[in-house]
Structure 1
Amino acid sequence: MSESNDASRLTTPQEWRSYLRDYSELYLRAYPAEDRGPEQARGWMGREPATEEAVAAAEQRLGVRFPPSYRSFLLTSDGWDEAGRWIGPVESCDEVAWLRDTDWGEEFIEIYSEEGIDDYVAVFQRTLKISNGEDCWFLDPTEVGPDGEFAGYLFEPKYGELYRFASFADLFQNNRRFLQETAADAESAAAGN
């Protein structure tokens, strides 16, 4: 497990709106048109903003108040269609769940318990699952920074790798760096044709 050193924070809907607009444009540059779904053709990868009531209802259902960056993200876009880099959709307020209560969580806990990898099992038992895809993101409400941010985790089941980040915003920022490299490679290849 490793932690991102990126100190970027996105804690207001206004900051997220600008960031996500740029993120959408970067995603569309990184992935050729033939690799995109119809929802990505419109140029905005997000959804309608969640209402304050929807966020509060999700928090009440889960028994936890979301950290500032994730809460502001949901108030900007109630989920995200495709984050890229093997991270699929980011969950909406209605979809976010305790990892341990999902089919994925049950499977991960069983596999890593049998393998005796207790630190992974502990993470799987205490985190919120906030994305789908080949890889997935989790938020840990037991690891709270001085800024109120929950630690975020990127889990790559195919490789059995779990990476720790300082916040939800840092998970997005990690993906953004990958998209920048992918977009640069795509543009370089297109210029060479």
Structure 2
Amino acid sequence: MTDLPLEDAPRTVEEWRGYLAEYGKEYVEANEDEEYSSLTAEQIESHWLGAEPAGEQTIAAQEQRLGIQFPPSLRAFLTVTDGWQGVGGWIDRISPCAEIDWMRNTGPGDSFIHLYAEGEDPEDDTISLADLFRRALLVAAGEDLWLLDPTETQPDGEWTAYEFTPKYGTVEEYPSFAELFHESKDQI
């Protein structure tokens, strides 16, 4: 886990605005010697690695299509930016609202469900990756994947978040999307 206090993770729309401006600046400065294949010249110059905000109608339509209401920190994030390029760690981007989907409905999800369902021991009390992949939203991808689990809701409405590392077949758990995003800042 990061040395950054989790309570510094953004929660509100205002907090996300300031946080993402700082995050983008740190990302661009830390990676200035690397090639920015996924960033535009405008993003590099402005340090804003996001898009225009997702409108309330866009968010509500996607929630209706998925049959859920997004957890508060993801909803606030989408209200500030509809997706994000340049994430610390092994994530290429956070998906725009219209691309957020159940992992089971995605190509990687279907493959991982089959792969992990084959070798599971029903007596094992550790997290069932196949079950997690069936029920979780896929919100970010790259070499690793970020998942949100609606069956594990905190009192504040946040869903438990997971970073799945396919290379090792491991998951790391976080209390929310905000904390997972905040953790990635330490990996810039």
Q: Structure 2 residue aligned with 1:93, among 97, 104, 117? A: 97
Counterpart amino acid of residue 78 in structure 1: D
Higher RCO, 1 vs 2 (CA within 8 Å, ≥6 residues apart): 1
Counterpart amino acid of residue 110 in structure 1: H
Q: Is the 8 A contact 2:9 2:182 kept in 1?
A: no
Counterpart amino acid of residue 89 in structure 1: R
Q: Using a 3 Å threshold, how does the CA distance of structure 1 residues 147 and 81 change in structure 2: closer, same or farther?
A: same
| CA deviation string 1:48-76 (max 9, x = no partner) | 00101110001000000001100000000
Unaligned runs of 5+ in 1: 180-193
The residue that corresponds to 1:131 in the other structure is: 140
Unaligned runs of 5+ in 2: 123-127
Q: Is the 8 A contact 1:112 1:120 kept in 2?
A: yes
The residue that corresponds to 1:13 in the other structure is: 13
The residue that corresponds to 2:174 in the other structure is: 165
Q: Is the 8 A contact 1:8 1:169 kept in 2?
A: no
The residue that corresponds to 2:50 in the other structure is: 46
Counterpart amino acid of residue 111 in structure 1: L
The residue that corresponds to 2:31 in the other structure is: 31
Q: Is the 8 A contact 2:88 2:186 kept in 1?
A: no
Identify which range, 116-125 or 144-153, moves more after superposition.
116-125
Q: Which has a greater percent of strand?
A: 2
Identify which range, 19-28 or 84-93, moves more after superposition.
84-93
What displacement does 1:31 show?
1.1
The residue that corresponds to 2:125 in the other structure is: none
TM-score, structure 2 length as denominator?
0.88
Identity across the alignment (%) = 42
The residue that corresponds to 2:84 in the other structure is: 80
Corresponding position: 1:150 with 2:159: yes
Q: Is the 8 A contact 1:9 1:69 kept in 2?
A: no
Distance, in Å, in 2 between the alignment partners of 1:127 and 1:29 is: 33
Moved over 3 A (4+): none
CA RMSD of superposed structures (Å): 1.7
The residue that corresponds to 1:188 in the other structure is: none
Q: Which has a greater percent of helix?
A: 1
| CA deviation string 1:46-104 (max 9, x = no partner) | 11001011100010000000011000000000011221311011011110000011111
